[in-house]
Chains A and B, each alone.
Chain A
Amino acid sequence: PEARAQAKYNWTFQTSETAGEPQYKIKQDWAKNVEAMSGGRIKIEILPTGAVVPHNQTLDAVGSGILQGHLTDPSYFSGKNPAFGMMGNLVGAWGDPMEFLEYMKFGGGEAIYNKLVEPYGLHLIGAMATGLESFPSKKPIRSVADMKGLKVRAPEGMVYDIFAKAGAAPVNLPGSEVYTALEKGVIDAADYTVFATNHTMGLHKFAPYPSYPGFHSLPMVDVSINKQIWDGLPADLKAILKTSVDALAYQAISRLKALDLQAANEARKDPNIHIIDLPAEERAKFRNIARQEWEKWAEKNAITKEFYGSVTDFLKGRGLM
């Protein structure tokens, strides 16, 4: 309590993970780092998903100042503006999280995201990524053709339509139902989370054909702060916060990758689990299906259009398109 009283800025940031997930610990370490870098002037309390407001209501809560910031997946706000869904998870675009971060930082992504989020009263400090999500499945998916008729759980954002285009039968099932639905076979596969977490939860016991490294989804983590607070900060604290998020992104990528590799090694020892690495040409097929959907989303509004132009320029410049 004393430390809290001494700090000039006491903030509460809500995340989109439960306290048990590895990302949560990494975000807590970020808060400690900010406190250390700012010489104790900033103290941030990290709270798990749903602690203060529901996971899909943090945009409003940060904008109105109830929370001072959030570290969350922007896809949850797709219903406010489809650009959140498109920027938050451009399905099939990224081969690894570094490519995505390079685009955000040096390819124009941050500026477009701030154009999107600042009217809501938030400012993006920086982006982070969790790494490619794995794809737990009860049926072996060795090609795009294998997705035909696959009952896959898909939440908000672009994922649903892309899987539908790929021939799957997407099921719009809430997150809390995924575990038992997959266990009992109501669904065949799920868009869920990273390999290590899926493995810890015991998902691979009944969904023994995980796709890893994943192919479909690389969600952004938006690290944002209330804009009024941001505008009132001195330049040194702004620099500290921006630098701290870069460090966070670097930490998250390396630590989550290590956890995934460790879990994958463990899974490989289990004769009942068969990890599938989708071949490059099948990944390309899936990416091409996804791209048709990008074009559709680009027409939704001015920001999705601007993002589409900017991101395709970036990918072409890298020879990725």
Chain B
Amino acid sequence: MTPETPPGGAGGAPRTAPLPHDDSANGQPLTGLDRAISQASKVVAWLVFISMVITVFEVVMRYAFNSPTSWVHETTVFLIAAIFLLGGPAALARDKHIRVRVLYDAVPPGARRWLDVLNGVLALLFTTGMTYAAWVMFYTASHNPLGEWQLERSGTSWNPAFPAYIKALILFALALMTVQVVLHLIHAIRNRPAEPAKSGGR
């Protein structure tokens, strides 16, 4: 009703609880790497805006001018895949990944530390295994059977090397998460007291 809403204000209405996009309510980045990722993700996030713009462009070109583009759908898939992949490390940096806290909340702080260490080890197993597999896939996508450098392409008329780029991004995201998880594990072993406000995605 009120047009005098502060521009860019977070809704203006009184809220029963802070929303997760309010930084104050989030788990602060734990390590220097997390902070760097958190910063970098502010730029990466604009890819979703670009995908929207080019999709609208495709719709207009096709419907109004009967000349569909050859590149929008593939580019959109590529940009959105990048959003999905890089969103992994970004969410990890800001501690936004969802977990089940039933046991965690029930045990005393001392046991929580051991749960943190256990989770760190399990997460490391996952990211390490995935990074290895991603490396194998990226190698296949960037080399022909003779072992020469040759990027896998999409095989369409436009034929961009997006498959190879996406596989490179998968490798990058997983390797980054592996380093993040190692740093978190070190943090948990050193047993700094956990900040009580760490509500994040939990």
Contact = CB atoms under 8 A, between A and B. Distances in A.
B145 A160 contact: no
A79 B73 contact: no
Contacts of B152: 79-80
B137 A160 contact: no
B155 A76 contact: yes
A79 B156 CA distance: 7
A198 interface: no
Interface stretch (A4-12, A17-25, A150-158, A213-221): A150-158
Contact of A164 (B74, B136, B157): B157
Contacts of B145: 119-121
Interface in B56-75: 62, 66-68, 70-71, 73-74
Given A60-B140, A120-B145, A79 B159 contact: yes
Interface in A148-178: 149, 151, 154-157, 160-161, 164, 169-174
A76 B62 CA distance: 26
Contact of B155 (A82, A121, A149, A173): A82
B163 A79 contact: yes
A75 interface: yes
A77 B140 CA distance: 13
- Which among B70, B152, B157 has the greatest number of chain A C-beta atoms within 10 A? B157
A78 B155 contact: yes
Interface in A52-77: 60, 64, 75-77
A20 to B, nearest CB: 26
A80 B153 CA distance: 6
A77 B163 CA distance: 11
B72 to A, nearest CB: 8
A174 B71 CA distance: 13
Interface string B61-97: 0100011101101100100000000000000000000
Contact of B68 (A78, A84, A151): A151
B140 A173 contact: no
Nearest to B162: A79
Contacts of B73: 172-174
A131 interface: no
B146 to A, nearest CB: 7
Contact of A160 (B136, B144, B156): B156
B68 A156 contact: no
Contacts of B157: 154, 160-161, 164, 170, 172
Nearest to B74: A172
Given A79-B153, A149-B66, A151-B62, A172 B159 contact: no
B126 interface: no
B158 interface: yes
A79 B66 contact: no
Interface of B: 62, 66-68, 70-71, 73-74, 77, 136-137, 140, 144-146, 152-159, 163
The 4 A-B pairs with the shortest beta carbon distances in the complex, nearest first, are A78-B155, A119-B145, A79-B155, A156-B155
9 contacts: A78-B156, A79-B153, A79-B156, A79-B159, A80-B155, A155-B156, A171-B68, A172-B74, A186-B62
